[in-house]
Amino acid sequence: MKKMIIASTSTIHGSSYLEYLLPTLKTFFKGAKTILFIPYARPSGISYNEYTTLANKTFAKINISVTGIHEFENPIDAIQNAEAIFTGGGNTFELVNQLYKNDILSTLKEVIENGTPYLGTSAGSNICGVNMMNTNDMPIVYPPSFTTLVCIPFNINAHYLDPIKGSTHMGETRETRIKEFHVFNETPVLGLREGSWLEVLGDAIFLRGKLTARWFEKDKETRNLELGSLKFDV
């Protein structure tokens, strides 16, 4: 049975890395002593070692140690033997590129579907959907495919921002870009606001945190989804 936390962000304003999620993660990862960390997204271009150290420092607060997947000779074996897995945020294009390059996307999906607890933040959440086409990131590399884990039947737009009333900014809003996506694609999109996350338990999906999420479907009216169980037709 799937057991996932799919979070919009790792850090909210005024808190340290993953601090706002730690009470939830302490329960979510109960029983796990180690977490396999996938640092491929490299936020701000930091190294895998730097990123893993950051994650390890945070999880030490709940007595869990973190090891980066890059430290293993065989990344497939690392995923298959992991007690739990965390994929951090950064650039989704590079994350997906490395998942394909290391031939671990299908293995990652398999262990998640079989119940290995999974945490994704930002880019690590984007890959949980049908494809990565609703990321906000720059295409700094060209992955072999935009298809991702398909562990949930819709796409994630992390860090979702609402239009600001009275703003003189003339660029596209997130809603505009998602509507452009739906001109050519059928996949529903969930805009996850900062500090919100999805909890996935088997086929049940729950919206957690303090904020509603924005739901987009092709040729349908956009709406807010309230906290709790997500009910939608796909």
Residues belonging to the active site: 122, 137, 159
Q: b or e along 157-176 (b: 16 or more beta carbons within 10 Å of the residue's beta carbon)?
A: bbbbeeeeeeeeeeeeebbe
* Alpha carbon separation from 223 to 13, 129, 215, 232 (Å, rounded): 26, 19, 5, 11
Our measurement of the distance from residue 33's CA atom to the centroid of its chain's CA atoms, rounded to an integer in Å, reads 22
- Work out the number of other CB atoms within 10 angstroms of the CB of residue 28: 18
Whole-angstrom Cα distance, residue 103 to residue 29?
A: 26
Whole-angstrom Cα distance, residue 185 to residue 220?
A: 13
Our measurement of the distance from residue 185's CA atom to the centroid of its chain's CA atoms, rounded to an integer in Å, reads 21
Spatial CB neighbours of 148, under 8 Å, sequence gap ≥ 6: 96, 105, 126, 127, 128, 129, 130, 131, 132
DSSP-H helix ranges across 127-213: 174-184
Structure tokens given for 172: 């596209």
Whole-angstrom Cα distance, residue 65 to residue 179?
A: 42
